[in-house]
């Protein structure tokens, strides 16, 4: 354990890329600054919840550049202890357990921050309270069926097993002041290492020299379970908006609200049919 500790920060992203600020008043009847996603940065890595618990070297996540960074404090917990903790909670953070309103990336960041720094730290309230704020808006009752439909579709298409946290080779090599002991290989990691050898035996390439070690391939990061769904809904809304504006009968704010309402009604009808 390093006496000086390890700095802990929170990276904050806007998944809407500014659209929430521009369109929320028309869609929801109240202004919303952003659709928040967060990740905790410590030991030179960023840890976040997306298709399971994921980690990437700081500054290399799929979410781009953070909108802002929040200082959470300093932890004296060694990295190996922290990553053992992540393995313990991994079954609670999977694609199947994801809930957009109640069990999302920001809830994960809040729990992790409190483990590292203490109960006085965590994700700011304006991020944690966003779902309740959205659902209390005039359009909240219309949004809920769409959210339920999206989550039902994602869970039915996801793998049934829980995602187990495994540190990436980069996160292990880019260590903090003290080196963590090597993690025990999991069954999934062993299967990935065996797969290239099996493929090479079928293609019969020239054997590598005995002295040349063959590195194991780095596992690809799992995708955000709601990333593609958000993009599809956003594209659908924009197509509706463009079609309504082309008719020339409504103002932009009215067209935006109508486009959102039509998309939500379509998804809501789908959710009703699935539940029936």
pLDDT of residue 219: 53
Q: Could you tell me the strand order of the sheet in which 45-49 lies?
A: 53-57, 45-49, 36-42, 6-14, 68-75
pLDDT of residue 272: 36
* Three-state SS at 31: coil
Enter the tokens of residue 264.
């939500």
When comparing pLDDT for 272 and 267, which is higher? 267
Phi, psi of 251 (to 5 degrees): -75, 165
**Interval 146-199: pLDDT, tens:** 666 656 665 555 443 444 565 554 444 333 443 333 444 433 344 444 444 444
pTM: 0.58
Give me the count of residues in the chain. Answer: 276
The total of other beta-carbon atoms located within 10 Å of residue 137's CB is 17
Identify the H or E element spanning 70.
strand 68-75
CA dihedral for 18, 22, 23, 25, sign (positive or negative): positive
Report the pLDDT averaged over residues 90-104.
90
Identify the H or E element spanning 49.
strand 45-49
Annotated catalytic residues are 37, 105
pLDDT of residue 151: 60
Mean pLDDT of the chain: 73
pLDDT of residue 258: 74
Beta bridge partners of 74: 7
pLDDT of residue 274: 39
When mean pLDDT is compared across 51-60, 111-120, 219-228, 267-276, the lowest value belongs to 267-276
pLDDT of residue 198: 43
pLDDT at 92 over 90: yes
When comparing pLDDT for 155 and 202, which is higher? 155
pLDDT of residue 99: 86
pLDDT of residue 227: 54
| Buried residues in 91-124 as b, exposed as e (16+ CB within 10 A) | bebbbbebebbeebbbbbbbbbbebbbeeebbbe
pLDDT at 115 over 50: yes
Is 154:225 a contact under the CB 8 Å cutoff?
yes
Is 175:79 a contact under the CB 8 Å cutoff?
yes
**Interval 19-63: pLDDT, tens:** 888 888 877 777 888 889 999 999 999 999 988 999 999 999 999
Identify the H or E element spanning 54.
strand 53-57
CA 151 – CA 157 distance, rounded (Å): 10
């Amino acid at each position: 354990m390093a006496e000086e500790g390890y700095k802990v920060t929170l990276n904050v992203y806007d998944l809407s890329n500014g659209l929430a600020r521009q369109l929320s008043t028309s869609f929801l009847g109240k202004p919303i600054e952003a659709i928040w996603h967060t990740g905790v940065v410590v030991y030179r890595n960023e840890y976040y919840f997306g298709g399971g618990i994921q980690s990437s070297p700081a500054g290399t996540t799929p979410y781009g550049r953070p909108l802002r960074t929040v200082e959470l404090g300093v932890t004296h917990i060694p990295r190996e202890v922290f990553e053992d903790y992540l393995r313990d909670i991994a079954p609670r953070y999977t694609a199947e357990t994801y809930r957009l309103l109640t069990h999302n990336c920001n809830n994960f960041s809040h729990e992790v921050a409190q483990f590292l720094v203490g109960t006085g730290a965590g994700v700011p309230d304006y991020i944690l309270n966003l779902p309740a704020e959205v659902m209390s808006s005039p359009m909240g009752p219309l949004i809920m069926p769409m959210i339920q439909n999206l989550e039902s579709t994602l869970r039915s298409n996801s793998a049934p097993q829980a995602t187990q946290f495994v540190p990436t080779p980069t996160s292990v090599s880019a260590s903090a002041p003290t080196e963590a002991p090597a993690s025990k290989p999991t069954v999934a990691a062993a299967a990935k290492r065996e797969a290239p050898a099996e493929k090479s035996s079928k293609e019969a390439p020239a054997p590598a020299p005995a002295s040349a070690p063959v590195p194991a391939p780095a596992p690809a990061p799992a995708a955000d379970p709601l990333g593609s769904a958000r993009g599809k809904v956003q594209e659908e809304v924009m197509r509706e908006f463009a079609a309504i504006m082309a008719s020339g009968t409504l103002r932009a704010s009215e067209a935006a609200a109508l486009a959102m309402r039509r998309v939500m009604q379509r998804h809501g009808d789908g959710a009703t049919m699935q539940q029936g």
